[in-house]
Structure 1
Amino acid sequence: MHDRLSAFRYRDFRFLVAGTASSSLGNSITPIALAFAVLDLGGSATDLGLVVGAFALADVVTVLFGGVLGDRLPRKLMMEGSAAGSALTQAFLATSLIVGFGTVAMLGIVGALNGCLSALSQPSSRAMTRETVPPEHLPSAVAGRSLLQTGAATVGYAVGGVLVAVAGSGWAIGVDALTFAIAAYCYSRLRVPHSVPEGERASMLADLGDGAREVLAHPWLWLLIGQAMLYHLFYGGAQTVLGPIVVGDEFGRSSWGWAMATLMAGFVVGGLVCLRWRPRRSLLIGTVLLSLTALFPIAMAVSEHLWIVLVGAFLHGFGLQVFDVFWDLSIQQNVAPDKLARVYSFDAVGSFVARPLGLALTGPIAVVVGYQEWLLVVGCVMGASALLALTSADVRNLTRRTPIETPPEPVTA
């Protein structure tokens, strides 16, 4: 256990994961609070979709610039500024709902602003892991950070509904503002070197081009980003649109809550496994397990028993979490440090750019094809795309680096 948690010996890493876990907790509460806030203000399901879509669109549009800035400016500054800004915007939003001057349009505008703030810091935050621990402790750091963020998100989902019911949407969003303030404080305590490139700087467009060339230089990288695009194009609507309808109609509405809880349990177990399991060909193993995600939509489509759906949900979460940890570790160990934030931004854009389209098209297509039939198609595409990636020798043969262990540096207060 000591080796599995070795990254937590380092002060900077502890502050990093405390900040990311804090904001992850709040960000899991806000979607629930936001949904009821829109409805309480008289908004419709379409209005809610527009509010959520404003955040998603702003995030996708801005994240590439976040990657460029994360490789130009001190990453600590990007994270600290974004968290402080998000704390202020969420506090304003909470106040508007508590006092009573909030509107649906205001929720959309502030949501878009929060999407921009999140996108500006996300690549820097992911790249920061590498700067807080020595190379030999990076596997422990990646797995530990992922596990704590997933655990915090699970708690957020669990308490979000309770907070809204007991205190109201405004106070629940106020909790999110507090978590961002805590994150900003944690980031301000980081003592990492400002690894900013020296010399004359190229234009932002040129920097983006350098990031794109770095992605294209690694076939395993662009291939699995493409796979992630297919995953989110098909699965986003299957979970958000079809899942509640199919599972709710078949087994009762509470069953969908159980399915989501079981999915998160799979994430947590996968994170725990990754703390201990260090396969040499981790990307190969992760991609194989990624194919397990197909079992959830297939189970929803064909099963007449809830327990089978729950098993599918668990295996989906488990496989996806293991893949995510090994994927992140592969990027951390194989991408040039000065291009890391830009690569993470291309990863985010490539993975999520098609998700809004999938959300918009799932309903109309499923009505024509049939709900169960479309869930089968979704499952087959998810499983086949993951297995197809294994035909690449670059995916199969990429090995985890195992640097020589060095004694840990003294932990400062």
Structure 2
Amino acid sequence: MPFLAKSDSTKRQQLLRGPFVPFFIGRTVDLAGGAMTAIVVPLAVLGASHSITDAGIVATATLLPTLAFMLLGGVAADRLTRRSLLVTTCLVSAGMQVGMGALLLSGHYSLLWMALFGVVIGVSSAFSGPSLRGIVPELVGNADLQRANAALATTRSAVRVAGPMIGGILVASVGGGWALIVDAISSVVAAACFLLIPRGNRPSAPTAVWVSLKQGWRAFSGARWIWISSISFAIINALNVAPVQILGAAIVAPVMGAASWGALLSGRVLGTLLSSAALVRFQISRPLVTGRLMGSLIVLPLLGVGLIHEFWLLLAMFFAGGVGSGVLNVTYDSTLQAKVPTEAMSRVSSWDDLIAFAAIPAAQVAVGPIAALLGNERVAILSACGIALAVLVPLAASSIRSRDLAMAS
């Protein structure tokens, strides 16, 4: 059976109609606002406080609640209507962004209040994330899951390029306070789009929260291919995110300049965008196997910064790494959504996300001391080797190979 098959044009057109459309638009608007917020909040806090420490505290106050409440978010998404949760979390985030903006515009900056607003946004993200992954199978059939996830990944990559640029322009032109108000407006628009999604059905007599948590853990841990994948992603994220963001900048920027480093990161995003766009058109018949084989390209950026000092070759390696990342993520998400029952999808995905992302903060703290001991380039190369093992070793598990979904063409 071929690994790639061209998707039928009629099916691609059908994907752009029906309940997936308002979700796709709302998700795109929400992603754009989130991409702006990622740069607007640190710049706004720095502008008001002139303190890197303050910016770090606000960022941490947003991230930690997301991780802490993610499992409860999965329970809520499986017990309630996911549409209602998406609308509510968007409106809550909008309110907190308005609060941040008003605080800055009033000239009464307060680290405590900014951190508290960040905490609420973080909790909101913990409840929206499982709903976003869980609702896609409600809106499209199994045969369209890859195309739907590829379309979502394409827009995610696009806003990662445009969002920070727009956010920076807003901060520079109208100030951090008004930029946050614009972010809030985008959240309200996203909520309005999500309101157009069909309500969907939820269990009429939900179990106790602790029982739902236990059921979600059983569904997650009982699927060997899922928890193997989650552990794999945890290692990939720990060895990829901090080394690329911190060591890559430390190695490349002093030699080639900050602009060149920014161009390399943009090249990686472009690779993810183009591979995601290709997966809207081409169907992969062996998604888990193909995704991991292509995912091995993720090692190239770190190998490049550790071994190579030629900009154009590095750019090609960053682009290829982005291609591999896009294929790996789309194929995994599509298979997960197809194989896990809809009523348990959000709880399973919350366990999946929690394990996959939990090691990132520790890795960000540890990478500096380890690099000081072993050297920046050596740590980059060792991280790349570790990522290669984390991507490819799971293919030895029969549960991974046997769960490949034969996508309808």
Specify the TM-score bucket, using the shorter chain as the normaliser.
over 0.9
Task: Provide, for residues 266-295 of structure 1, a one-character-per-residue CA deviation record: whole Å limited to 9, x for no partner.
Answer: 111111111122121111100111111111
- Residue 171 (structure 2) aligns with: 164
Q: 1:79 aligns with which of 69, 76, 86?
A: 86
- Residue 128 (structure 2) aligns with: 121
Q: How does 1:256-295 map to 2 (within 5 A)?
A: 256-295=261-300
- Residue 137 (structure 1) aligns with: 144
Paired residues of 1:25 and 1:152 also in contact (CA < 8 A)? yes
- Residue 366 (structure 2) aligns with: 361
- 1:393 is displaced (CA, Å) by 1.6
Q: How does 1:49-60 map to 2 (within 5 A)?
A: 49-60=56-67
SS at the partner of 2:9?
coil
Paired residues of 1:4 and 1:276 also in contact (CA < 8 A)? no
Q: 2:28 aligns with which of 21, 24, 33?
A: 21
Task: Tell me how far apart the structure 1 counterparts of residues 61 and 204 of structure 2 sit (CA, whole Å).
Answer: 36
TM-score normalised by length of structure 2: 0.94
- 1:38 is displaced (CA, Å) by 2.2
Indicate the RMSD between aligned Cα atoms, in angstroms. Answer: 1.7
Q: How does 1:4-403 map to 2 (within 5 A)?
A: 5-193=12-200, 195-199=201-205, 201-402=206-407
- Residue 3 (structure 2) aligns with: none
- 1:7 is displaced (CA, Å) by 4.6
Task: Provide, for residues 368-399 of structure 1, a one-character-per-residue CA deviation record: whole Å limited to 9, x for no partner.
Answer: 11111111111111111111111112222322
- 1:209 is displaced (CA, Å) by 1.4
SS at the partner of 1:278?
strand
Task: Tell me how far apart the structure 1 counterparts of residues 258 and 159 of structure 2 sit (CA, whole Å).
Answer: 25
Task: Provide, for residues 60-111 of structure 1, a one-character-per-residue CA deviation record: whole Å limited to 9, x for no partner.
Answer: 0011100000010111111110001111111111121122122233222211
- 2:256 partner letter: F
Task: Provide, for residues 123-177 of structure 1, a one-character-per-residue CA deviation record: whole Å limited to 9, x for no partner.
Answer: 1111111111233333322222222232223221232222222222222222211
Task: Provide, for residues 307-328 of structure 1, a one-character-per-residue CA deviation record: whole Å limited to 9, x for no partner.
Answer: 1221221112111111111111
Q: Percent identity?
A: 26
Task: Tell me how far apart the structure 2 counterparts of residues 253 and 262 of structure 1 sit (CA, whole Å).
Answer: 14
Gaps of 5+ in 1: 406-413
Task: Tell me how far apart the structure 1 counterparts of residues 50 and 58 of structure 2 sit (CA, whole Å).
Answer: 10
TM-score normalised by length of structure 1: 0.93
Task: Tell me how far apart the structure 2 counterparts of residues 3 and 155 of structure 1 sit (CA, whole Å).
Answer: 30
Task: Tell me how far apart the structure 1 counterparts of residues 378 and 52 of structure 2 sit (CA, whole Å).
Answer: 25
SS at the partner of 2:15?
helix
- 1:216 partner letter: S
- 1:43 is displaced (CA, Å) by 4.3
Paired residues of 1:5 and 1:144 also in contact (CA < 8 A)? no
SS at the partner of 1:177?
helix
Greater shift, 311-320 or 133-142, is seen at 133-142
SS at the partner of 1:33?
helix
Paired residues of 2:81 and 2:199 also in contact (CA < 8 A)? no
Task: Tell me how far apart the structure 2 counterparts of residues 76 and 182 of structure 1 sit (CA, whole Å).
Answer: 14
Paired residues of 2:284 and 2:407 also in contact (CA < 8 A)? no
Cα distance 1:126–1:318, how it changes in 2: closer, same or farther (>3 A)?
A: same
- 1:340 is displaced (CA, Å) by 0.4
- 2:198 partner letter: R
Task: Tell me how far apart the structure 2 counterparts of residues 264 and 109 of structure 1 sit (CA, whole Å).
Answer: 32
Paired residues of 1:284 and 1:397 also in contact (CA < 8 A)? no
SS at the partner of 2:211?
helix
- 1:118 partner letter: S
- 1:299 is displaced (CA, Å) by 0.4
Cα distance 1:159–1:79, how it changes in 2: closer, same or farther (>3 A)?
A: same
- Residue 408 (structure 1) aligns with: none
Task: Tell me how far apart the structure 2 counterparts of residues 129 and 53 of structure 1 sit (CA, whole Å).
Answer: 29
Task: Tell me how far apart the structure 1 counterparts of residues 257 and 407 of structure 2 sit (CA, whole Å).
Answer: 49
Task: Tell me how far apart the structure 1 counterparts of residues 298 and 25 of structure 2 sit (CA, whole Å).
Answer: 29
- 2:203 partner letter: P
Task: Tell me how far apart the structure 2 counterparts of residues 145 and 196 of structure 1 sit (CA, whole Å).
Answer: 24
Task: Provide, for residues 35-79 of structure 1, a one-character-per-residue CA deviation record: whole Å limited to 9, x for no partner.
Answer: 222222234333322221121111000111000000101111111
- 2:387 partner letter: M
Paired residues of 1:4 and 1:140 also in contact (CA < 8 A)? no
Task: Tell me how far apart the structure 2 counterparts of residues 9 and 370 of structure 1 sit (CA, whole Å).
Answer: 50
- 1:401 is displaced (CA, Å) by 4.0
Task: Tell me how far apart the structure 2 counterparts of residues 397 and 87 of structure 1 sit (CA, whole Å).
Answer: 43
Task: Tell me how far apart the structure 1 counterparts of residues 14 and 90 of structure 2 sit (CA, whole Å).
Answer: 23
Paired residues of 2:283 and 2:407 also in contact (CA < 8 A)? no
How many pairs are equivalent? 402
- Residue 410 (structure 1) aligns with: none
Cα distance 1:94–1:5, how it changes in 2: closer, same or farther (>3 A)?
A: farther
Gaps of 5+ in 2: 1-7
Greater shift, 77-86 or 165-174, is seen at 165-174
Task: Tell me how far apart the structure 2 counterparts of residues 107 and 80 of structure 1 sit (CA, whole Å).
Answer: 23
